[in-house]
Structures are given as structure tokens and as C-alpha cells.
């Protein structure tokens, strides 16, 4: 009988203190996340700026110059050398 009563008391203490412990753990987790969030945002902004600048430098060398009055250089025919000719008519 004594062992059963001791088990019951332990169970009741666990039921009493479990919500307190859960709240403490959750509060500590939220505190750590709130402390790390500004650093995470700052690092993501720096990474985005680095990616944008590097992409701009690469595209600046590869894209043609912007000359509004200059014509495009001569190229291939509009549909290329291998045109696909399809019959036009009622047989659709």
C-alpha cells in the first residue's frame, strides 16, 4: 500500500509541475529564436546582395550594349534555315 501511495504522489507532482516545465522550455526556445532572428535576416540580406551584385557583373559582360538607334546585327532568317512548312487548307 505504501508503494502505491508513493507512486501516486510522484504522479501528482509530475502533473503539477509538467505545465511549468513545458512553459519554461517554450519560453527559452522563443527567446533563443528571437535573439537569432535579426542575425538570420541580416545574413540573408548580405547573401542576397552578394548574389545580385555577382549576377549583375556577369550579365553586364554577356548582354549586348544598349544602343537605341543602332540596328541589330545581321542574323539568321526569322525561322532559321530549317523551316517547317505546313499545308494550309481545309484538312485540319
pLDDT tens by residue, 3-49: 888 889 999 999 999 999 999 999 999 999 999 999 999 999 999 99
CA angle 82, 83, 87 (to 5 degrees): 145
CA distances from residue 6 to 16, 21, 84 in whole angstroms, order as listed = 15, 22, 90
pLDDT tens by residue, 26-39: 999 999 999 999 99
Q: Is 46 left (phi over 0), alpha (psi -120 to 50) or beta?
A: alpha
pTM: 0.47
Q: Is 79 left (phi over 0), alpha (psi -120 to 50) or beta?
A: alpha
At residue 58, does pLDDT exceed 60?
A: yes
Amino acid at each position: 500500500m505504501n508503494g502505491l501511495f508513493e507512486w501516486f504522489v510522484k504522479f501528482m507532482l509530475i502533473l503539477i509541475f509538467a505545465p511549468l516545465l513545458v512553459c519554461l522550455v517554450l519560453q527559452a526556445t522563443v527567446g533563443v529564436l528571437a535573439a537569432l532572428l535579426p542575425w538570420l535576416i541580416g545574413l540573408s540580406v548580405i547573401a542576397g546582395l552578394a548574389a545580385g551584385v555577382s549576377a549583375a557583373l556577369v550579365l553586364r559582360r554577356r548582354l549586348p550594349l544598349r544602343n537605341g538607334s543602332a540596328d541589330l546585327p545581321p542574323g539568321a532568317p526569322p525561322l532559321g534555315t530549317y523551316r517547317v512548312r505546313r499545308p494550309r487548307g481545309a484538312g485540319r
